[in-house]
């Protein structure tokens, strides 16, 4: 378990969180399997239910007003172990709704607390997905999803549950329609018999390549590798202001590359 700088415990039965002294947070919400089915490769599959628990708006009590004033939101998510048919446990693919306070579809920062994650993202939720990336991350790693990109977060293991934190605009919202209309994102991750990930193209999109690799260091976004993001916020709240005001980093987003390239999955129609 990565020490994220917050006195919060993670529970697996039932899924959820325990808030320690000086921490605020809501009762968890649960994402049921039926809610995720429209974006799955096998909508009628069996799997854990609920699939994951989510707590939106957590932090230290002393920072509550600061977070509100800056329109920053920190949320926590913990996944159940298991599979969704052949797929790993994952979130629904979605795009962030345009924020009324910034006029942008907000970016998001993921920080992995426990388990192994892959943050999948594509430039567009349209017939042609644009560039597609699968960013692998473990405890302490950080992944940035740029404004307007469709994305989902999946557990890279059917055995070890995944837990992560996520920073976003407080005026957040999710749009699922385009992804559900194409039965998911442009690439599906599948788990083989050895618990290894395989990638298969979703035929409801135009052909594309998938770039796989670990996250970039994101120096231009003021993120310090190995330092909990909450601790970075404590020391300098202004450093994360771009999350709720992405226009302040407008020069970073064109051509944004979220990961180092370790391998590329070419056009594939194999089902």
Q: Does 179 fall in a domain? A: yes
Range of the domain at 83: 8-265
Q: Does 271 fall in a domain? A: no
Do the beta carbons of residue 44 and residue 215 sit within 8 Å?
no
Q: Does 86 fall in a domain? A: yes
pLDDT of residue 267: 60
Q: Does 116 fall in a domain? A: yes
Q: Quick check: bond before 14 cis, omega within 30?
A: yes
CATH number at residue 88: 2.60.120.10
Q: Give the pLDDT confidence of 174-195 residue by residue, as tens digits.
A: 999 999 999 999 999 999 999 8
State whether the Cα torsion 222-223-225-226 is positive or negative.
positive
C-alpha angle 31-21-168 in degrees, rounded to nearest 5: 45
Q: Please report which confidence band the pLDDT of residue 266 belongs to, taking 50, 70 and 90 as the band edges.
A: confident
Q: Does 191 fall in a domain? A: yes
Q: Please report which confidence band the pLDDT of residue 269 belongs to, taking 50, 70 and 90 as the band edges.
A: very low
Q: Does 49 fall in a domain? A: yes
* DSSP 8-state assignment for residue 26: P
Say how far apart CA 107 and CA 127 lie, in whole Å. Answer: 22
Q: Please report which confidence band the pLDDT of residue 171 belongs to, taking 50, 70 and 90 as the band edges.
A: very high
Q: Does 3 fall in a domain? A: no
Q: Does 261 fall in a domain? A: yes
Q: Tell me what the mean pLDDT of segment 57-79 comes to.
A: 98
Number of domains in the chain: 1
Supply the DSSP string of 66-127, one letter for each residue.
Answer: HHHHTTEEEEEEEEPSSEETTEESBPPPBEEPPPTTTSS---EEEEEEES-EEEEEES-SSS
pLDDT of residue 31: 96
Percent of the chain with pLDDT over 90: 95
């Amino acid at each position: 378990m990565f020490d994220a700088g917050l006195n919060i415990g993670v529970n697996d039965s039932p899924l959820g969180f325990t808030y320690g002294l000086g921490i605020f947070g809501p009762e968890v919400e649960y994402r049921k399997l039926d809610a995720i089915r429209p974006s799955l490769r096998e909508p009628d599959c069996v799997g854990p239910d609920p699939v994951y628990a989510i707590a939106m708006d957590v932090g230290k009590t002393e920072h509550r007003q600061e977070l509100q004033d800056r329109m920053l939101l920190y949320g926590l998510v913990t996944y159940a172990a298991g599979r969704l048919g052949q797929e790993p446990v994952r979130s629904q693919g979605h795009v962030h709704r345009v924020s009324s306070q910034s006029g942008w579809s907000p970016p998001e920062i993921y920080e992995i607390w426990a388990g192994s994650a892959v943050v999948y993202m594509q430039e567009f939720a349209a017939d042609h997905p644009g560039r597609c990336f699968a960013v692998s991350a473990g405890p302490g790693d950080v992944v940035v999803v740029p404004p307007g990109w469709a994305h989902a977060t999946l557990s890279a293991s059917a055995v070890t549950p995944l837990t992560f934190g996520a920073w976003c605009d407080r005026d957040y919202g999710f749009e699922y329609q385009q992804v559900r209309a194409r039965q998911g994102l442009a690439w599906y991750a599948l788990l083989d018999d050895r618990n290894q990930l395989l990638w298969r193209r979703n035929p409801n999109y135009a052909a594309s390549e998938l770039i796989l690799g670990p996250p970039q260091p994101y120096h231009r976004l003021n993120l310090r590798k190995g330092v909990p993001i909450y601790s970075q916020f404590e020391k300098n709240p202004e450093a994360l202001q771009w999350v709720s005001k992405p226009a302040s980093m407008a020069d970073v987003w064109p051509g944004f590359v979220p990961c180092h390239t370790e391998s590329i999955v070419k056009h594939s129609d194999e089902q």
